[in-house]
Amino acid sequence: MATEVREALRADPDPASALLDAYSQAVIAVVERVSPSVVNVRRGRSGGSGVIVAPDGYALTNAHVVDGAREVAVTLDSGAELTAAVVGTDNATDLAVIRILGSGLPVAELAETESLRVGQLVIAIGDPLGFHSTVTTGVVSALGRSLSARDGRVIENVIQTDAALNPGNSGGPLVDTHAKVVGINTAIIPTAQGICFAIPAATARMVAGMLIRDGRVRRAYLGIGGAATPIGRQLANELGITNTSGIRVLEVVAGGPAQRAGLAVRDLIVDLDGAPILTLSDLQRTLGAGRIGRSVDLGYVRFGELRRTTVTPAEAR
């Protein structure tokens, strides 16, 4: 790609035109490589997009695109119409995996999202409003955004982009200039312009692996409702902790792991197995599938006193 740009700059006496031509050629090259793997996904009258990530037909899309369906109709870039089984969905990340009943299908490569930079050029491909293989371009506007999922959990490390997305783009790929999928387009803010979001490829890869293997994503569960609450510096010093905040327990589910461990409303959770818990996102990250059924040490504050208990997270349902 860099060689093509340099050759274009040398060939054109007008540097500005050469740069624009090189930019156009870069976008065209990416679209030609990725578009064959982008599919239209339909569930009844509603629809969205998807991207094939394995030659045996596994494709990523959004959970809300296939919501409640066992099978969906799929149209390939070639125009061929096929059926896809819904392998699994994960409302907590708004991701789903479908398996298209075909062979030798074109595949897009998932990138290592950690290499993304704010300002980096990205390209969105999808089927907004039924217009197949629509391409828009933009930049990575921000990284590390958080979105609320339909199940109330927080989706972490979301990519914000100004590449224009519309209804129907959901589930389609956000691609870098190396033709690698850096995100799965998922949401827009209808009242705003140029504020769109994508689930990062690293999350998509992890969720897809679990859905293909188990048909669901396993997460640990404490059985509480809570909110991040600041901790004053004086109290933190008195307790010997580094936290600037913790999770105030606002609700305890009857019979849940937290209640069995003795936690109560108004307790302030500050660490789990020694790892500081400052936000709900910290708690969610700490409660991975590996914690299910395993006892963990939990630190919390009650009446200004630091206490400890042992809790055994259950599997979230």
64 included as an active-site residue: yes
Evaluate whether 154 touches 146 at the Cβ level (below 8 Å): yes
- The answer to whether 295 is a known catalytic residue is no
Task: For residue 255, count CB atoms less than 10 angstroms from its CB and return exposed for 0-12, middle for 13-18, buried for 19 or more.
Answer: exposed
170 among known catalytic residues: yes
295: left (phi over 0), alpha (psi -120 to 50) or beta: beta
Q: Active-site residue among 37, 49, 170, 245?
A: 170
Cα–Cα distance measured from residue 258 to residue 298, given in angstroms and rounded to the nearest whole number? 10
143-150: long-range contacts (C-beta < 8 A, 24 or more apart)? 143/116, 143/118, 145/197, 146/281, 147/186, 147/187, 147/197, 149/91, 149/92, 149/93, 149/94, 150/63, 150/64, 150/91, 150/94
d(CA 309, CA 258): 10
The pair of structure tokens assigned to 188 is 């827009």
Q: At what angle do helices 2-11 and 15-34 cross, to 10 degrees?
A: 150
Q: In the numeric block, which tokens belong to residue 268?
A: 């302030």
Per-residue DSSP letter, 178: T
Identity of the amino acid at 84? A
Give the 3-state secondary structure percentages of the chain, helix then strand then coil, rounded to 5: 25, 40, 35
Q: Which helix (H) or strand (E) holds 21?
A: helix 15-34
Strand, helix or coil for residue 236: helix
Catalytic, out of 37, 49, 64, 141 = 64
Q: Is the dihedral of CA 293, 299, 301, 307 positive or negative?
A: positive
With beta carbons less than 8 A apart as the criterion, state whether 133 and 115 touch.
no
Catalytic hit among 94, 127, 271, 282: 94
Q: Which residues are catalytic?
A: 64, 94, 170
